[in-house]
Amino acid sequence: MKKNIAIIGAGISGLTLGQKLKEHAHVTIFEKARGVGGRMSTRYADPFYFDHGAPYFTARTHEFQSFLQPYIEDGLVAEWHGKVINLELGKKATKRLWFEPHWVATPNMNSVCKQLGQGLDVRLSCEVAPLTRKQSDFWELQDKQGTPLGAYDWVISTAPLAQTQTLFHTETPLHGAPMHGCYSLMIGFNRPWNKQWIAAKVRNNPIEWIIINSTKPQRNKDVTSILVHSSNHWADEHSDCDMQEAQKMLVEQFMALTAIDSAGADYLSTHRWKYAVIEDRKGDMCFYLDARHGIAATSDWASGSRIEEVWLSANRLAERILAI
């Protein structure tokens, strides 16, 4: 008889686990957001679109390259080409070299996760409550409103470490590297992008990256969609800052760096990622697994912040569970 497995989170980790396990178990994925993707999400503000979490990804292992190849052949993943520069206040812009391909999903970053979600039972806008004691070898799940969600042999979390610790309560001695935050400033103009560069790495500034989202393959080139990522250090220092105040500070820095007047922007919004980038991790841990209790967890806190690392970790965990 097939086991029932609940997966918490419909980002690339949860969806990859779901696809790997679905032939061997009844899999249900619970996602508290309105759509799949996690940090591979896309902010829709038609005609503007912003890949406001992970703006691109790389592929350094043969395993991940093989996974991407069918998506590349189908046009769902494409290489992002263009001039990249370094920016610093008071200094002349310089060219920045990318020594490996930088990939994006098309037409939006969440497109790969949407494809991975095909054939899976994904429950959106459903936040799972912390686990209670296991009853008769099953986890009886319920949402935050107390609505029953079913009984499961296994519960796998792909949520951030703090949320996973809350979900598993005292059952799990989880340890992971600290996570740092990031602010995503999104700026839209109803006109095409008229500069030669597609992205800028910013030095010695509250801003870390400026990404011209509309220069990516299969994006709307009639408008300009700009994503600004703060530095992680600045985001941590301003973690309790009022969102409008944080937005104002980032807009001022953006204007000083680029000489682009954002006062006339047709769209302006900011999102704060509380858990964005993992601190350098020591050791080789890439997931947590407790077969006796039927619980497991993985996410960037256990592996690394790159999309490839998260995907590899999910695959390793799926292989271990199937071996059990």
Question: Which pTM value belongs to this model?
Answer: 0.93
pLDDT tens per residue across span 70-89? 999 999 999 999 999 999 99
* Residue-level pLDDT at 173: 62
* Residue-level pLDDT at 86: 98
pLDDT tens per residue across span 10-40? 999 999 999 999 999 999 999 999 999 998 9
Fold agreement (1-36+117-177+287-324, 39-109+178-279): no
Angle at 163 between CA 281 and CA 305, to 5 degrees: 35
- Sequence-distant (≥ 6) Cβ neighbours of residue 48 within 8 angstroms: 186, 188, 214, 220, 223, 225, 266, 267
* Distance of alpha carbon 44 from the chain centroid: 16
Contact between 273 and 182 (Cβ < 8 Å):
yes
Q: Where are the domains of the chain?
A: 1-36+117-177+287-324, 39-109+178-279
Task: Give, to the nearest 10 degrees, the angle between helix 62-73 and helix 307-323.
Answer: 110
Q: Average model confidence (pLDDT) for the chain?
A: 93
Q: What is the CATH number of domain 1-36+117-177+287-324?
A: 3.50.50.60
Beta strands in 31-165 (DSSP E): 43-45, 48-50, 77-79, 83-87, 94-96, 103-105, 121-123, 139-142, 148-152, 154-157
Distance CA 314, CA 13 (A): 5
pLDDT tens per residue across span 143-165? 999 999 999 999 999 998 889 98
Contact between 189 and 223 (Cβ < 8 Å):
yes
Q: Is the peptide bond before 107 cis (omega within 30 degrees of 0)?
A: yes
User: Is 283 a residue whose pLDDT tops 60?
Assistant: no
Q: How confident is the model at residue 178 (pLDDT cuts 50, 70, 90)?
A: confident
Average pLDDT (113-140) is 93
Which architecture, in CATH terms, is 39-109+178-279?
A: Alpha-Beta Complex (3.90)
Q: How confident is the model at residue 242 (pLDDT cuts 50, 70, 90)?
A: very high
Contact between 51 and 107 (Cβ < 8 Å):
no
